Structure 1
Amino acid sequence: MQKIRKTKGLSIKELAEKIQVSEEFLLKTEQNKTEPSKYFIHSLSTTFNMDYDDLIENLFYVKSDAILKIINISN
Protein backbone atom coordinates (compact mmCIF):
# COMPACT_ATOMS: atom_id res chain seq x y z
CA MET A 1 0.00 0.00 0.00
CA GLN A 2 2.79 2.40 0.84
CA LYS A 3 4.30 2.02 -2.63
CA ILE A 4 1.04 2.91 -4.36
CA ARG A 5 0.38 5.75 -1.92
CA LYS A 6 3.77 7.24 -2.70
CA THR A 7 3.33 6.67 -6.44
CA LYS A 8 0.10 8.66 -6.24
CA GLY A 9 2.03 11.40 -4.45
CA LEU A 10 0.04 11.13 -1.23
CA SER A 11 1.39 11.51 2.26
CA ILE A 12 -0.02 9.45 5.12
CA LYS A 13 -1.89 12.54 6.28
CA GLU A 14 -3.40 13.22 2.84
CA LEU A 15 -4.54 9.63 2.32
CA ALA A 16 -5.93 9.41 5.85
CA GLU A 17 -8.01 12.53 5.18
CA LYS A 18 -9.24 11.20 1.81
CA ILE A 19 -10.45 7.91 3.25
CA GLN A 20 -11.47 9.35 6.62
CA VAL A 21 -9.27 7.31 8.95
CA SER A 22 -6.65 8.35 11.46
CA GLU A 23 -3.03 8.65 10.41
CA GLU A 24 -2.16 6.19 13.17
CA PHE A 25 -4.56 3.57 11.78
CA LEU A 26 -3.23 4.04 8.25
CA LEU A 27 0.35 3.69 9.41
CA LYS A 28 -0.46 0.53 11.38
CA THR A 29 -2.19 -0.91 8.32
CA GLU A 30 0.81 -0.15 6.11
CA GLN A 31 3.01 -1.92 8.65
CA ASN A 32 0.61 -4.92 8.81
CA LYS A 33 -0.01 -4.29 12.51
CA THR A 34 -3.78 -4.21 12.13
CA GLU A 35 -6.33 -5.92 9.92
CA PRO A 36 -8.07 -3.66 7.41
CA SER A 37 -11.85 -3.67 7.27
CA LYS A 38 -13.87 -4.22 4.13
CA TYR A 39 -14.85 -0.54 4.21
CA PHE A 40 -11.19 0.49 4.46
CA ILE A 41 -10.18 -1.67 1.49
CA HIS A 42 -13.12 -0.33 -0.54
CA SER A 43 -12.10 3.25 0.29
CA LEU A 44 -8.54 2.54 -0.83
CA SER A 45 -9.66 0.91 -4.07
CA THR A 46 -11.81 3.93 -4.87
CA THR A 47 -9.07 6.42 -3.96
CA PHE A 48 -6.40 4.51 -5.89
CA ASN A 49 -8.82 3.80 -8.78
CA MET A 50 -8.14 0.07 -8.51
CA ASP A 51 -10.31 -3.02 -8.57
CA TYR A 52 -11.17 -4.17 -5.04
CA ASP A 53 -9.97 -7.75 -5.61
CA ASP A 54 -6.73 -6.61 -7.25
CA LEU A 55 -6.02 -4.39 -4.28
CA ILE A 56 -6.44 -7.28 -1.85
CA GLU A 57 -4.27 -9.60 -3.93
CA ASN A 58 -1.48 -7.14 -4.65
CA LEU A 59 -1.22 -4.81 -1.70
CA PHE A 60 -1.94 -6.56 1.55
CA TYR A 61 0.65 -8.95 2.85
CA VAL A 62 -1.52 -10.27 5.62
CA LYS A 63 -2.08 -13.84 6.68
CA SER A 64 -4.63 -15.72 4.63
CA ASP A 65 -6.71 -16.16 7.79
CA ALA A 66 -7.10 -12.38 8.01
CA ILE A 67 -8.26 -12.19 4.39
CA LEU A 68 -10.72 -15.01 5.00
CA LYS A 69 -12.02 -13.15 8.04
CA ILE A 70 -12.64 -10.03 5.93
CA ILE A 71 -14.39 -12.06 3.23
CA ASN A 72 -16.56 -13.90 5.78
CA ILE A 73 -17.65 -10.62 7.36
CA SER A 74 -18.92 -9.44 3.97
CA ASN A 75 -21.08 -12.55 3.42
Structure 2
Amino acid sequence: MIILPGSEAYVETLQYMPLFWKQAANEKGCAIFVCRPGSGGLLEAINQDEYIEYTEGGEYDERLQELEEIGWDDDTI
Protein backbone atom coordinates (compact mmCIF):
# COMPACT_ATOMS: atom_id res chain seq x y z
CA MET A 1 0.00 0.00 0.00
CA ILE A 2 1.23 3.50 -0.80
CA ILE A 3 0.32 6.24 1.66
CA LEU A 4 0.28 9.66 0.01
CA PRO A 5 0.35 13.11 1.63
CA GLY A 6 -3.13 14.47 2.16
CA SER A 7 -4.74 11.09 2.75
CA GLU A 8 -6.25 10.11 6.08
CA ALA A 9 -3.77 7.22 6.40
CA TYR A 10 -0.88 9.68 5.95
CA VAL A 11 -2.15 11.89 8.77
CA GLU A 12 -2.61 8.84 11.01
CA THR A 13 0.90 7.62 10.19
CA LEU A 14 2.43 10.94 11.24
CA GLN A 15 0.88 10.60 14.68
CA TYR A 16 3.36 7.84 15.59
CA MET A 17 7.13 7.65 15.75
CA PRO A 18 8.71 6.20 12.59
CA LEU A 19 9.49 2.48 12.44
CA PHE A 20 12.99 1.69 13.64
CA TRP A 21 13.42 5.19 15.10
CA LYS A 22 15.46 3.82 18.00
CA GLN A 23 17.84 2.06 15.62
CA ALA A 24 18.26 5.21 13.51
CA ALA A 25 18.86 7.33 16.60
CA ASN A 26 21.40 4.88 18.03
CA GLU A 27 23.29 4.60 14.74
CA LYS A 28 23.61 8.38 14.49
CA GLY A 29 24.18 8.82 18.23
CA CYS A 30 21.22 11.14 18.59
CA ALA A 31 17.82 11.51 20.12
CA ILE A 32 16.60 14.71 18.45
CA PHE A 33 13.83 14.56 15.87
CA VAL A 34 12.91 17.33 13.43
CA CYS A 35 10.58 17.85 10.51
CA ARG A 36 12.52 19.42 7.68
CA PRO A 37 10.79 21.91 5.37
CA GLY A 38 9.09 20.10 2.50
CA SER A 39 9.18 16.75 4.32
CA GLY A 40 5.42 16.59 4.71
CA GLY A 41 5.74 16.21 8.47
CA LEU A 42 8.01 13.16 8.47
CA LEU A 43 10.40 13.03 11.40
CA GLU A 44 14.15 12.65 10.95
CA ALA A 45 16.65 11.69 13.66
CA ILE A 46 19.56 14.13 13.86
CA ASN A 47 22.54 14.72 16.13
CA GLN A 48 23.38 17.84 18.15
CA ASP A 49 25.49 19.45 15.40
CA GLU A 50 22.75 18.90 12.83
CA TYR A 51 20.23 20.38 15.26
CA ILE A 52 22.28 23.55 15.64
CA GLU A 53 22.50 23.82 11.84
CA TYR A 54 18.74 23.17 11.57
CA THR A 55 17.85 25.94 14.01
CA GLU A 56 20.51 28.50 13.11
CA GLY A 57 20.63 27.79 9.37
CA GLY A 58 17.03 28.79 8.72
CA GLU A 59 15.37 25.40 8.24
CA TYR A 60 13.44 25.74 11.49
CA ASP A 61 12.08 29.13 10.40
CA GLU A 62 11.12 27.66 7.00
CA ARG A 63 9.24 24.84 8.75
CA LEU A 64 7.40 27.33 10.98
CA GLN A 65 6.38 29.28 7.88
CA GLU A 66 5.05 26.08 6.29
CA LEU A 67 2.99 25.41 9.41
CA GLU A 68 1.58 28.95 9.37
CA GLU A 69 0.60 28.55 5.70
CA ILE A 70 -1.47 25.46 6.45
CA GLY A 71 -3.09 27.09 9.46
CA TRP A 72 -1.43 24.95 12.13
CA ASP A 73 -1.38 26.20 15.70
CA ASP A 74 -0.86 24.74 19.17
CA ASP A 75 -4.58 23.92 19.44
CA THR A 76 -4.33 21.62 16.40
CA ILE A 77 -2.34 18.97 18.26
TM norm structure 1: 0.26
| Bigger Rg over Cα | 2
Task: Kindly indicate whether structure 1 or structure 2 has the higher relative contact order, using CA contacts under 8 Å at least 6 residues apart.
Answer: 1
TM norm structure 2: 0.25
